[in-house]
Amino acid sequence: MMKFIKEAANVRPSKKQLDWFEMEYYAFIHFGPNTFTDKEWGDGSENPEIFNPTKLDCNQWVEAIKLAGMKGMVLTAKHHDGFCLWPSKYTEHSVKNSPYRGDIVKEAADACRKGGIKFGFYLSPWDRNSKYYGTPEYNDYFCNQLTELLTEYGDIFYVWFDNACGEGPNGKKQIYDFPRYFDLIHKHQPNAVIFNDFGPDIRWCGNEAGSARHAEWAVVPSELCYYGEIQTGAGPMADQGSLSWIYSTEKELGTMANILYSKGLVFAPSEIDISIRPGWFWHEEEEPHSLERLFKTYLASVGSNSSLNLNLPPTREGLIDKRDIQRLKELKELLNSEFGKEIAVTIEKVQGEPITQPIYNIVLQEPVNSIKYVVLQEDIAQGQRVESFRILIGSPSGHQYPIYQGTTIGYKKICQLQNPFAEQNPLLDDTRTTILKIQIQITSARDEVLLKEIKLY
């Protein structure tokens, strides 16, 4: 068992997964016929004539994304309605037959390049317009479209496959040839990470509400990575009678109880995807979520070993809504004020008895009134190791008070010691004028602990 735990601690990310981790925060853009019909899911019968953005400006999207501090864009090149935002050679259901004749994928990719951010696309396997859907020919159709997107728009950092399908038990059944899709991506865009519910490079966090697991592990049972194929009835492990698959919403995904009996382990970190508004597509009457909700989501994603893919839906004119830009600005200002000024410290690492329980003694150069955040980072390139930790502050009389109890760290853990929107944490009261020391105790880990950063704010 010890050997297995050590192995789990040493499952490592690829270079492209590391690059993705470092992006932390990027934007989804949901745009298409739904924007004009006021729907969330089109049925594919929409007339392309309705798609008519009159002031479309992808540079404005990029400005909004950059203003928010995000590092990339993921555009819905084709949503479930099958309508393509590029003039695909393989269908008439696209921008080429709309009053807007341009190539929106090209405009978006060019704007990203010009603005110095990365570009990626979302491509829905579920296609409610294609006559091929539900037949083996659909995989050819899908691969043709995927190839267009992979070869005609420069560097792609991300290919986001959506596993949603609303066909129901009597609907069309499509066997997706995911291995073939993945091969195409590896061939044409070897640096692109691939997202699906089950990975292979990045996996869905399991909800669209912006909430995190109590312990988010990047190393998960390999059974998960075949789930998508099981769902569609295909693939090498399409054995529905077997218990050996794990659902992507599983709460304990990656924790010890779950990995101990797995067939293997893979490195597949989580992304939290959420829209800035209730819907993924723009609806006039909807308002952006509150600043508090978005900030919490940031802590639950970027601050909990996931990334944040925050959706900004363009309006019918083809611009990011002013209300959303205002909220993004507020969020950026809040992030700047919360994480703009580091507290200067000196850190001493004391080796605990086992190498998996080191203690970090942190002495502040100047006493402070309060510490709002402790930000921890493991050297994730070596694997994810910490299972649990706690943070203590020293009182003037020399007593130590535990102020935070944590589970995983991974790429980044933002420990919020006190909620900026709430009252003062009572535990801090008697020491708050004189905090000079804190201590971080790693209480359990899967192998030697390699913390890369400890920052206080």
Site residues for ligand FUL per CB under 6 A: 40, 162, 164, 273, 280
Closest to ligand FUL by CB, 162 or 201: 162
Closest to ligand FUL by CB, 128 or 413: 128
Smallest gap from residue 128 Cβ to ligand FUL (A): 11
Closest to ligand FUL by CB, 204 or 457: 204
Smallest gap from residue 96 Cβ to ligand FUL (A): 23
Q: How far apart are CA 77 and CA 31, in angstroms?
A: 8
3-state percent helix, strand, coil for the chain, nearest multiple of 5: 30, 25, 50
CA angle 321, 322, 328 (to 5 degrees): 95
Burial of 191 (0-12, 13-18, 19+ CB in 10 A): middle
Residue of minimal Cβ distance to ligand FUL: 164
In this structure, which long-range contacts are made by residues 233-241, counting pairs with CB atoms below 8 Å and at least 24 apart in sequence?
Answer: 233/173, 233/175, 234/175, 234/176, 234/177, 234/178, 235/178, 235/179
Contact call for residues 209 and 215 (beta carbons, < 8 A): no
Smallest gap from residue 174 Cβ to ligand FUL (A): 15
Q: How far apart are CA 197 and CA 178, in angstroms?
A: 12
Residue 113: partners with Cβ closer than 8 Å, 6 or more residues away: 119, 154
Smallest gap from residue 38 Cβ to ligand FUL (A): 14
Q: What is the SS3 string spanning 307-343? A: EEEEECCECCCCCECHHHHHHHHHHHHHHHHHHCCCC
Closest to ligand FUL by CB, 8 or 205: 205
Smallest gap from residue 433 Cβ to ligand FUL (A): 47
Residue 367: partners with Cβ closer than 8 Å, 6 or more residues away: 433, 434, 435, 436
Smallest gap from residue 248 Cβ to ligand FUL (A): 12
In this structure, what token pair is assigned to residue 367? 């006493």
Closest to ligand FUL by CB, 168 or 190: 168
Closest to ligand FUL by CB, 28 or 217: 28
Strands 413-416 and 345-350 turn out to be unpaired
Smallest gap from residue 80 Cβ to ligand FUL (A): 6
Closest to ligand FUL by CB, 274 or 451: 274
DSSP state of 401: E
Smallest gap from residue 111 Cβ to ligand FUL (A): 21
Closest to ligand FUL by CB, 75 or 451: 75
Q: How far apart are CA 223 and CA 185, in angstroms?
A: 22
Contact call for residues 42 and 32 (beta carbons, < 8 A): yes
